[in-house]
Each structure stands twice: as structure tokens, then as C-alpha cells.
């Protein structure tokens, strides 16, 4: 029997990949520890494991990620409020904003952006008429001082 998706050894290996990823390891490190040739193999195993897990596991992973974000935010909070100088405070604030953005995406807090699109449809006759109008404007004599040609030296030419 080949190593299929229902093979207990494959499932156990994918479980190990999922646990290591939950621990924050990169796919390169996971590949080394679990015995994949490269990060791509570990990533594929991770994706397969994610398809297998039940909703409660997804909630647990999300909660773990939220906990990590809380820890990261707590670690930089002192610099956000009382950074030694403006530059240190600014870096901490940018890091805080990234943490907040990640938390909002993770929790689905961002409201989708509404877009309003205006479409103008012109038929060939109206386009041809507009082109003809513009050509006639270009071919007519200047009508105002603003339309009078000016030389590179700034003098009015005719």
C-alpha cells in the first residue's frame, strides 16, 4: 500500500507539521525537523493538515494567534507610550499598527470597501461627432488671449 492521504503515518506526519507551525516555526525548520526535502513539502503537508482539521481546531489556532498578537502588543506598548525619543516611539507605533491590522484581519473586523463605478457608454456616432468637434476647435483661430500662441521668449506670436 502506497502512502496515500489516509495512511496513518502520513496523517501523523501532517499532525506534527501542524503542531510545529502552531509553535511559530518556519516551513524550512519544519521540513528539517519532520524530514521533508524542502519547505515546499512541509507547506503542502501543512495545507493538507489544515483541510483535515475540524472547526474547533481552527478556533484554537485563531485564539493562539490572537494570544501571540496580544503578547507582541504588550511587549512594545511601553515604547508606544514612553519611547526614549520620537524615532523610537514612531517605530513602536508602526509596529503596533501592523499588529492591530493583523488582528483585525484575523477576526474579520475590517468592513469590505464599497466602490461605486460609473460607466459611460458611447456609440460610434457620438464619438465621431465629438472627435469632429474637437478637430474643428483645433483648426479654428484662437478666440481669446489664453489661446494666443506665445513664443519660448514669452512674446505673443501670430
C-alpha cell at position 118: 460609473
Region for 154 from its dihedrals, namely left if φ exceeds 0, alpha if ψ lies in -120 to 50, beta otherwise: left
**Is residue 89 within 8 Å of residue 80, measured between CB atoms?**
yes
Confidence class of residue 25 from pLDDT cuts 50, 70 and 90? very high
pLDDT in tens, 42-76: 999 998 888 876 656 778 888 999 999 999 999 99
CB neighbour list of residue 93: distance below 8 Å, 6 or more residues apart:
80
- pTM comes to 0.41
For residues 61 and 24, give the distance between their C-alpha atoms in angstroms, rounded to a whole number: 11
pLDDT in tens, 85-131: 999 999 999 999 999 999 999 888 887 777 888 887 878 888 888 89
Neighbours of 66 (CB within 10 A): 14
Q: What is the CA radius of gyration of the chain?
A: 31
Q: In a 10 Å sphere around its CB, with 0-12 CB exposed, 13-18 middle and 19+ buried, how is residue 49 labelled?
A: buried
**Is residue 136 within 8 Å of residue 143, measured between CB atoms?**
no
pLDDT at residue 24 is higher than 50: yes
- Up-side HSE of residue 50: CA atoms within 13 Å toward CB? 13
CA dihedral 44, 45, 51, 56 (to 10 degrees): -130
pLDDT of residue 22: 86
Instruction: Provide the 3-class DSSP secondary structure of residue 101.
Output: helix
For residues 126 and 131, give the distance between their C-alpha atoms in angstroms, rounded to a whole number: 9
pLDDT, average across residues 129-141: 86
Amino acid at each position: 500500500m502506497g502512502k496515500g492521504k489516509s495512511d496513518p503515518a502520513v496523517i501523523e506526519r501532517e499532525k506534527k507539521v501542524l503542531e510545529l507551525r502552531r509553535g511559530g516555526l518556519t516551513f524550512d525548520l519544519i521540513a528539517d525537523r519532520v524530514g521533508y526535502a524542502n519547505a515546499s513539502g512541509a507547506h503542502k503537508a501543512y495545507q493538507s493538515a489544515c483541510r483535515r482539521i475540524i472547526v474547533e481546531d481552527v478556533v484554537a489556532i485563531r485564539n493562539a494567534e490572537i494570544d501571540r498578537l496580544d503578547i507582541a502588543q504588550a511587549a512594545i506598548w511601553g515604547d508606544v507610550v514612553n519611547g526614549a525619543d520620537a524615532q523610537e516611539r514612531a517605530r513602536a507605533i508602526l509596529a503596533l499598527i501592523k499588529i492591530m491590522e493583523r488582528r483585525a484581519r484575523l477576526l474579520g473586523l475590517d468592513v469590505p470597501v464599497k466602490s461605486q463605478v460609473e460607466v459611460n457608454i458611447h456609440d460610434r456616432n457620438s464619438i465621431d461627432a465629438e472627435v469632429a468637434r474637437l478637430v474643428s476647435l483645433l483648426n479654428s483661430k484662437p478666440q481669446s488671449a489664453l489661446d494666443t500662441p506665445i513664443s519660448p521668449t514669452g512674446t505673443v506670436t501670430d
